[in-house]
Amino acid sequence: MGGFGRKAYEFLSELGLGPRNPGCFVNGAWRGSGPVIAEVMEASIEDYEEGLRACANAAKIWMQIPAPKRGEIVRQIGEALRTKLYYLGRLVSLEMGKILPEGIGEVQEIIDMCDYAVGLSRQLNGSIIPSERPNHMMLEVWNPLGIVGVITAFNFPCAVLGWNACIALVCGNCVVWKGAPTTPLITIAMTEIVAQVLEKNNLPAAIFTSFCGGAEIGEAIARDTRIPLVSFTGSSKLLLTVLLLYLELSYIKGVESATVVMCIIIVGLLVQQNVHKRFGKCLLELSGNNAIIVMDDADIQLAMRSVLFAAVGTAGQRCTTCRRLLLHESVYQTVVDQLIQVYKQVNIGDPLEKGTLLGPLHTPISKENFVKGIEVIKAQGGKILVGGSVIDSEGNFVQPTIVEIAPSAQVVKEELFGPVLYVMKFQTLNEAIEINNSVPQGLSSSIFTRKPEIIFKWIGAHGSDCGIVNVNIPTNGAEIGGAFGGEKATGGGREAGSDSWKQYMRRST
């Protein structure tokens, strides 16, 4: 890796990383026979086949270990991660681009998931059901699936792994993980820590198998009949690239722009189709297009802080980022004016430096997509109130942006993965809910109000149609104790807490 010897990168050696790193962990050994990308040798299909054979054999052992003892292994993984918390958080910040507190917070989330999974390992309860037959009883028992495939995206390379792997492991499953191609060092560092725990306990290393690779590895996981469940978190930058291409074509050829809506789920559909063709199960966590509603009775200052955090955090690259701000007409101008002033004061810079609030976008392609997205916004009548430009400096830095636009604009229906916030006004609660629910996605949402009657409608059957429905807090920052996921084009998957564990097991009656 270029510059590996610099003092600022000395911490990488604490994570077992060197200047050149094999990119797949197969049957207890690091290897890689594919091309070199950023000094990480990617996995080949041959590596994948060897890894899956070893993983399938390890599954026979792992699923027979009592669940509480599996929980003890996950507890040890959590403890090992705690000892490397700062180093891992710094690596997340360095490789992904989010600010250091967010990087550390993400690693803490997988540690918290380990703690949660330890308790869960003693609560994988079945049921005793009354039988119609005399002197009989009916049992409902939960058994492991065998192997769970986890395909994660660049924006949360640790947390999403934790939501899936911690639960899958205590449920008795082996894990096959393909990290994002642009965050391979995180994949390697995390795997190294897990591998050390397995080795310490004389367990097969193939219980946790990982690959750094591209689409061919992801496709292999989706098609592999040895993997009953695949969890896929989509990369929205690819979806946006396809979307922009369709939008450009629509302007050139006069095609109705509404036809581009389906582009947002193209990658998830491909994964889902490949898994379902072999009668496998899928957990899809795709894009979000999350709205915050500010009612006329809201605590404006509380709402302002929440909007800033939700719209600018992680440079707008969270699936739960606030992308639409719906303001009651009576507070519209007050909130917009204050937000513009706050946006102008956002400290943009090196994500590793203290005081930085907005780091870079993840890749040069992300920056290009931001520029193209702004062009589309302007073409559809959007008015840039603040920001809207790239920053002329080294790195993929862009200005946090506020856009005044009609809720009916086609571009509002899609997810532009960057710090772009659409503001729009409404008159009634019903109108606000209708706007909130008008997009294809259904991940997260929030409303700011003091009125109980509004709150109960918002969280009820005629309220938000999202999987996450918040009140007086931002759209981002989901807690691990609840099931994380969304409806509609977000995919319908549920990970982390509540009864999500049942998806990682098979029910026997």
User: Is-above-0.75 flag for pTM?
Assistant: yes
The reported pLDDT for the residue numbered 5 is: 64
- Between CA 445 and CA 62 the distance in angstroms is 39
Q: Give me the numbers of helices (H) and strands (E) for the chain, helices first please.
A: 14, 24
Residue 36's pLDDT is 47
Helices 236-253 and 266-277 pack at an angle, to 10 degrees, of: 120
Domains of the chain: 49-236+494-508 (3.40.605.10), 290-479 (3.40.309.10)
Among the listed residues 102, 285, 414, 495, the single catalytic one is 285
- Tokens standing for residue 213: 């690779």
CA atoms in the 13 A half-sphere facing the CB of 138: 9
| Beta partners for residue 31, in sequence order | 24
Please tell me the predicted confidence (pLDDT) of residue 33: 67
Is 285 considered catalytic here? yes
Residue type, 351: P
What whole-number distance in Å separates Cα of residue 294 and Cα of residue 475? Answer: 13
Cα 463 to Cα 432: distance, rounded to the nearest angstrom: 10
> CA 166, 172, 176 angle in degrees (round to 5)?
60
Q: Would you state the structure tokens that stand for residue 4, as one six-digit string?
A: 């590996």
Closest CA to 337 of 267, 272, 386, 268: 386
Per-residue confidence in pLDDT tens, the chain, 509 aa: 455 667 777 788 888 887 878 878 888 887 776 654 447 888 999 999 999 999 999 999 999 999 999 999 999 999 999 999 999 999 999 999 999 999 999 999 999 999 999 999 999 999 999 999 999 999 999 999 999 999 999 999 999 999 999 999 999 999 999 999 999 999 999 999 999 999 999 999 999 999 999 889 999 999 999 999 999 997 433 444 444 444 444 443 443 333 333 443 567 788 999 999 999 999 999 989 999 999 999 999 999 999 999 999 999 999 999 999 999 999 999 999 999 999 999 999 999 999 999 999 999 999 999 999 999 999 999 999 999 999 999 899 999 999 999 999 999 999 999 999 999 999 999 999 999 999 999 999 999 999 999 999 999 999 999 999 999 999 998 899 999 999 999 999 999 999 999 999 999 99
Question: DSSP letter string over 256-281?
Answer: -GGGGGGGGGHHHHHHHHHHHHTT-E
Do 411 and 439 form a contact (C-beta atoms < 8 A)?
no
Q: Which residue has the tokens 């807090």?
A: 473
**How open is the CA angle 380-384-388, to the nearest 5 degrees?**
105
Beta bridge partners of 142: 507
Query: Strand, coil or helix: what is 308?
Result: helix
For 352, the token pair is: 């590793």
